[in-house]
Structure 1
Amino acid sequence: MAEEEVAETEQAVQPDQLSIVATATDGINVLTVAGEIDHHTGDALAQALDLSGTSRPRVVVDLQQVAFMDSSGINVLIAAHRALTEAGGWLRLASPTGAVLRTLQLVGLDTVIGCHETLHQALTG
């Protein structure tokens, strides 16, 4: 497969301890998240995931640089998964590591939302 076509759009959100960079690759919205997802930063992630005006929104959240995620992050991902599925799109998670992967597995979210080891795997489905 050829190198991915990158960055149709790009914007960064940086509240407190969270950074979110939004890009588009082959019509798929990619959110690269870094930092901690908790009750202080969950709203920023929810806003970045709100693609209500997009038809058939497809979103990959790259979690490789996320060091911590609590139940606030789980709730945001569940709500986004439901909204995107209802809109005829989908949500996939890429590269969760360490504590974040354990959190996803403990609550079973990795079996509800497609969870992939790499960004490439998440993009190609």
Structure 2
Amino acid sequence: MSEGEMTGAEHAAQTGQLTVVTTTTDGIRVLTLAGEIDHHTGDALRRALDASDTPRPRIVADMHQVTFMDSSGINIFITAHQDLSEAGGWLRLAAIGESVARTISLVGIDTVIDCRETLSQALGD
């Protein structure tokens, strides 16, 4: 990549958008998020977290490229955590950046949803 070119994640972060890339590792849905999570971008995250068609769904949200999250994102994650738990699955947040980690800690989400330092840890038992 030449100097001055941006990756999709860098572009998303600069424009206040959210990109969601979904992959599967060992039966776990991995959402790689980049950009901002707010009331403008929440629907994309909500759709990605929907596992209503999956028995015992397990989802990891890799947040190392998330630059901002407001109360909309917090509410989406809480709802997803509750829905996944009721379905016999779980939600984990991984590699949360410093500014978003502050928000998560202040609101206490890290006491409700399993937060791991790295994606590798989140994919483990």
Q: TM-score, normalised by structure 2?
A: 0.87
SS in structure 2 opposite 1:51?
A: coil
**Structure 2 unaligned residues grouped into runs of 5+:** 1-11
Which residue of the partner structure matches residue 49 of structure 1? Answer: 49
SS in structure 2 opposite 1:88?
A: coil
Deviation at 1:52, TM superposition (A): 0.2
Q: Deviations along 1:82-107, whole A, 9 cap, x unmatched? A: 00000000000000012100010000
Deviation at 1:43, TM superposition (A): 1.0
More helix by share: 2
SS in structure 2 opposite 1:30?
A: strand
Write the distance in 2 (CA, Å) between the matches of 1:112 and 1:122.
15
Write the distance in 2 (CA, Å) between the matches of 1:112 and 1:93.
11
Letter in 2 for 1:34: A
Write the distance in 2 (CA, Å) between the matches of 1:50 and 1:71.
19
Which structure has the greater CA radius of gyration?
2
Cα RMSD between the aligned structures? 1.1
**Structure 1 unaligned residues grouped into runs of 5+:** 1-13
Correspondences of 1:57-76 after superposition (within 5 Å):
57-76=57-76
Write the distance in 2 (CA, Å) between the matches of 1:34 and 1:117.
17
Q: Does the alignment pair 1:108 with 2:86? A: no
Deviation at 1:57, TM superposition (A): 0.1
Write the distance in 2 (CA, Å) between the matches of 1:86 and 1:49.
14
Write the distance in 2 (CA, Å) between the matches of 1:100 and 1:28.
23
Deviation at 1:76, TM superposition (A): 0.3
Deviating 4+ runs (over 2 angstroms): none
Which residue of the partner structure matches residue 123 of structure 2? Answer: 123
Letter in 2 for 1:81: H
Q: Deviations along 1:16-47, whole A, 9 cap, x unmatched? A: 61100000000000000000000000111001
Residues matched between the structures, number: 111
Which residue of the partner structure matches residue 20 of structure 1? Answer: 20
Query: Could you tell me the percent identity over the aligned residues?
Result: 66
